[in-house]
Amino acid sequence: MNCAAFGHQKVYSLKVEQESISQLEIDRDTTDMLIGNSFIGFLMTIFAFSGLLFFFESDSPSTFAQKFQVWMLMMAVSITRLIDAIYWRVNLAGTAYYPRPALIRFSIGLYLTASIWALYSVLFYPTMGTIELAATMVVLSAMSGGAGTVLAPNKNLVGFYSTALLVPMSLCAIFDENGSFFVLGILGLIFWFGIFTSAFRYHKFFISTVHLKAKNNKLMEQMKIERNETEKVNQLLIASNKKLDASNLNLEAEVERRTAALYRLSNKDPLTDLPNRNGFLKHLNNLLDTSRALENSLAVLFIDLDGFKQVNDSLGHKIGDIVLVEIAKRLRNYTEDNHLGRWGGDEFVAVIPYANIDTAKAVALAMRSGVTVPIIADDNQITLDATIGIAMFPAHGETALDLIQHADLTMYDQKRKQRGSVSVFNEALLSEIKQEQKLCERLRTAIENGELTVFYQPIINASTKSVSTVEALLRWKCDDDYISPTVFIPLAEKSGLMPEIGAWVLNRALIDLSHWRFSNEISISVNVSVAQLLDDNFSKVLDHALKSTQIAPEQLHLEITESVFAIDKKLVGKRVSELVERKVKISIDDFGTGYSSLSRLQSIPFDFIKIDRSFIQNTTEESDTIVRATILMAKEFGCKTIAEGIETAEHEAHLAMLGADYLQGFYFAKPMNANHFISWYNENY
């Protein structure tokens, strides 16, 4: 047997031992309760049975002889039980004895006593007069009622005893041919039921009490153990105090050493040895106090590394740590001690005292130049860049947190516009951020307030000049102003509202399509965002919309921007395949401007490629080459092309000549609401 198996066996044995000890305590308490309270019951049984025999005259000598024989049997059992109980009290009560034998003897005696009572009531019922019968029922009820409490620790015993005493006699009375004692029998059964249920309730109470007692005993034992442990600890403390007293001369040095260690842990970044957030904020607050007193300015720089996430993801955190240490070492060259801190991850903060905007920009550009120098880490050459935001005191904030927040916002805004650059905070940026937050809040209730509308723009078949498809385009009117989709769509995606808004657009577009009655069947094209496509509920939303509007799946085209391929190729492929299985058509939007590659196009099924308007409106030979290549590639994949941005007759003729299958743009119609689109269609077709 191996060590692990032995260990499991030992744990199992210990568990069994604990359970057996717990059951042993319950059995001992049960036995103590049963036998300890049984003496009065023995005497009552002897006196009651004797009274029923000798106080009532029998109708014949033979009946009396039979009763006397039963009485002798009861006396023998009762006296035996009494002797056994006396033996228990003298030799076992109050000791840690094994209770099972005593409990078995007591149970046998009780079963015999109850059986004799049942025998007596059934055997001699026909010979009893009215008074004797009533007296017998009273005696049996009293005995059963007393037993309901005394025998409660053992529900089997109390159940058998009360049943044996009351049920046979009650049944005899109920089924008596004369029917004189029918009510008495019913009352007996009702009394039996009451005793029976009460006894079981007393049993539960007893078991709860026993468990509580066991818990109290364990607590007392635990208290003793803990008291002993406390005494040991006190002894150890006394010994330690003596040692501390002996080394009192070195105490001050030890305290200083530990204080320095604690300060380092709470104020220093363990990887780069730069001040962490807490340490940098303390130092920055001190510099701000000095600057206020001297009425000087200072600059706070928020530095974010560009490309560091790819290093961690591709080369691992070990290489990433080496890179961070090297970057921290380089940035130190441009600041004084403790003027540079690690804010978290790949973000750093720096403070430049006595600086104006020009000085801060110069230092920031120098820092960026230092970051861009290639780093060699474990034979890997790594090149990074940095985007830096600057906030000035007191112009851009009075507190440390305000300055850092404004520098961070500036960095984040600059990162969206142009990575690897330096920017200074301005109030317009703050207003823009506040306006963005306001729009986010309004966008949350835009559907509820009826502010969203779906506009429609036709897509024309280049050969037949007829309307083939209509693209659904979302519009938002907020306080009488139309907010551009280029503004509110990114806000919806960033705030997590896109799945809800996208579902509304899908339903609205399909509802409108179901109401249109045109001469030829047209399809509807709806844009699907990355957030919608990756949402687990999108398939359910789509199925519900198609089912509720009775639109054929073939009439629905879903437009997916090619940038979605950069998110999760495997998951995107799975979701698009689910759409294709439903016979929904797939369009690749803004093709040629994002993340597409032939390998991705091969792995994801699609029906249409939409050529971006930038290639249409730029009528150079290079753009035409891209358009021809796209049309040729689409034919090879067995799909159609849609040219966006057709604004003139020349655009239409040129794209038709190049071989585009479908055309879309202001030349044919601008986006319009549903009513205007119906009017436009009826006027032109």
Smallest CA-to-CA distance from 415 within 362, 468, 347, 327 is with 347
* Residues 471, 494 share a domain: yes
Smallest CA-to-CA distance from 345 within 371, 309, 316 is with 309
* Residues 636, 509 share a domain: yes
**pLDDT averaged over consecutive 10-residue blocks of the chain (685 residues)?**
38 37 69 76 82 78 85 88 84 79 86 88 83 82 77 80 84 79 79 76 70 72 82 82 71 62 74 92 94 94 93 87 94 93 94 95 95 91 94 94 92 88 88 82 91 96 94 93 88 88 95 92 92 88 94 94 66 85 90 56 80 82 86 89 93 92 95 95 91
CA count, 13 A, side-chain hemisphere, 655: 32
| DSSP secondary structure code for residue 420 in this structure | S
* Residues 478, 411 share a domain: no
Domain annotation covers residue 254: no
Domain annotation covers residue 242: no
What gap in Å lies between CA 386 and CA 330, rounded to an integer? 13
The residue out of 378, 394, 425 marking a domain boundary is 425
* Residues 531, 450 share a domain: yes
The position carrying tokens 């239409």 is 652
Domain annotation covers residue 462: yes
Domain annotation covers residue 353: yes
CATH number at residue 396: 3.30.70.270
What gap in Å lies between CA 117 and CA 52, rounded to an integer? 11
Q: How many domains does the chain have?
A: 3
Q: Which two tokens stand for residue 596?
A: 């597409």
* Residues 118, 29 share a domain: yes
* Residues 209, 127 share a domain: yes
**What number of other Cβ atoms are within 10 A of residue 255's Cβ?**
10
Neighbouring-strand partners of residue 523: 469
**What number of other Cβ atoms are within 10 A of residue 180's Cβ?**
11
* Residues 454, 378 share a domain: no
Answer positive or negative: Cα dihedral of 537, 540, 546, 547.
Answer: negative
Residues 6+ apart with CB under 8 A from 32: 93, 99
* Residues 380, 469 share a domain: no
- What is the extent of the structural domain holding 208? 13-218
* Predicted local confidence at residue 595, as pLDDT: 47
* Predicted local confidence at residue 378, as pLDDT: 85
CA count, 13 A, side-chain hemisphere, 78: 21
Domain annotation covers residue 337: yes
In degrees rounded to 5, what are phi and psi of residue 455? -100, 160
**What number of other Cβ atoms are within 10 A of residue 663's Cβ?**
25
Domain annotation covers residue 550: yes
Tell me how long the chain is. 685
* Residues 359, 485 share a domain: no
Domain annotation covers residue 228: no
CATH number at residue 598: 3.20.20.450
* Predicted local confidence at residue 663, as pLDDT: 96
Contact criterion met (CB below 8 Å) for 276 and 342: yes
**What number of other Cβ atoms are within 10 A of residue 553's Cβ?**
15
Q: Which two tokens stand for residue 82?
A: 């009494």
Could you tell me if residue 338 is left (phi over 0), alpha (psi between -120 and 50 degrees) or otherwise beta? left
Residues 6+ apart with CB under 8 A from 582: 542, 543, 546, 553
* Residues 199, 174 share a domain: yes
Number of H helices, E strands in the chain: 24, 16
* Predicted local confidence at residue 20, as pLDDT: 41
Q: How far apart are the first and last CA of the chain?
A: 90
* Residues 301, 163 share a domain: no
The residue out of 195, 218, 241 marking a domain boundary is 218
* Predicted local confidence at residue 282, as pLDDT: 92
Residues 6+ apart with CB under 8 A from 59: 127
Domain annotation covers residue 101: yes
* Residues 421, 465 share a domain: no
